[in-house]
Amino acid sequence: MMKRNLYHIIGVANAQQIVAAAKNAVACCDELSQNILTRLYLTTYPPTGTSLAFEIGYGYTQFNQRKKEALLQFAEAFMSGELLGLK
């Protein structure tokens, strides 16, 4: 029982570190990417891609390109944090 509780504590600590690293990675992105990532993935009721594209003044194709760029920025920042031991 004690061993299982220890694994649970370690799991919670790791989850908290991952959340912190994700927040830091979003903060490393440019302002538009932060907006896209936050609105699509970090809100309780995210808008559809089409409605968010309209809100920020992009066409659907252009928005999808910016969304891909935002995801790449996030991935690079997140992985950089892991590799540098910031996670």
Q: What is the mean pLDDT of the chain?
A: 84
Q: Which one-letter amino acid corresponds to residue 61? A: T
Q: Which one-letter amino acid corresponds to residue 5? A: N
Q: pTM, whole model, 2 decimals?
A: 0.77
How far is 61 from 55, CA to CA, in rounded Å? 14
Q: Which domains are assigned to the chain? A: 2-83 (1.10.10)
The model's pLDDT over 24-45, given as tens digits with 9 standing for 90+, comes to 999 999 999 999 999 999 999 9
DSSP string, 35-52: HHHHHHHSSSSPPPHHHH
Which tokens go with 33? 């990417």
56 or 9, which is more confident? 56
